Structure 1
């Protein structure tokens, strides 16, 4: 007898209609219509009463929304079921990979807690993988590429939203616009874009500070100096704002033109004293004069 499947089994939190609202009413119907106030003596009695209730009420009663009996609808849907490709195995290797669905609020659920993901993850990925480390850290990554999307410390309690404040900010648009602004200051714009992308790749967390420093240099220097500095940085693979500033300063020192010529003119004193005063020597008294005076006082 072939196996048929018509649903995908997923584990969700209890009483969470946002993630499994399609079956919330069904569970409530079984609880409050069949299970409530029903007495049974053993599991066999419970199963027997359950099948009788399904044939009598659960699958036979007309649904208020569809206005159809579930038993009749299932007979029609059964014709479209496809056999599964292989037997279902209940043993999964959860140590290697644990998949979690990405919810529309860009979070995943793990052990009764919610963990945030970067803004826009829900629109890109349906599922991500997680791994718990020995240091109680939850690593969330993409299964295909292995790219780490988030890291969170696992809290002690339950029902906690573990959120990284950076995940709620859409920084991509602002940084890209900032890069455009800085690149437009260079004559070699294509080279400038490539250089700034390298700076962003090297300093992703401090890219705004890097761009501010480079923008300051573009305002204080000519296009000729900026182009020479840009080419030198690319040639030497110096992908940082401080290196760019140092190269700009080096080029300016090499090309500096003195403002005034240094001559061998006589340096005049800053005060108004005459020359003969400066040449006057101080009178020096012999040490014996002081000796005589001191001996006379002691006597």
Structure 2
């Protein structure tokens, strides 16, 4: 299916696509899929969903999503800036997000969402994870998430379990008490009391 001016034609009707989908000098093929009473439009067969519309059974209709007239690139840039500000080393964050943007242009929004999710779930280790990704040249949001998960598991393995510490302390105390009680004889107590019971 070919895109014309951010619109595709399907069965005598036209369906809108987000602003910027049509490329004057680029590839303008999209793939459609019918899911029950919904028309799903993708750039690639299993790629990111560009648009979803209710299937129209009339003729000559324009089925339009108001969101499609907005410039998504401005929203993406603001999203990037918001993410960068959440890292301690913003210069590294900017480089990382730039590299991701150049590698995953079509899926940049998905990549940014994974980064935000990683920040939310692994805030304690996210800056360390970013440093690892840049050092090892791992340029994807999934890499950042995987490194953060790994570092979190390592920290959890090193951290002592409070309940096990408490249990260990109690076992030492109990052992000491038992040992003390076992070593004292009745005669010792009589001697300490100065022969009161004699």
Normalising by structure 2, we get a TM-score of: 0.47
Q: Greater relative contact order (Cα 8 A, min sep 6): structure 1 or 2?
A: 2
Q: Which has the higher helix share?
A: 2
Normalising by structure 1, we get a TM-score of: 0.35
Larger Rg: 1
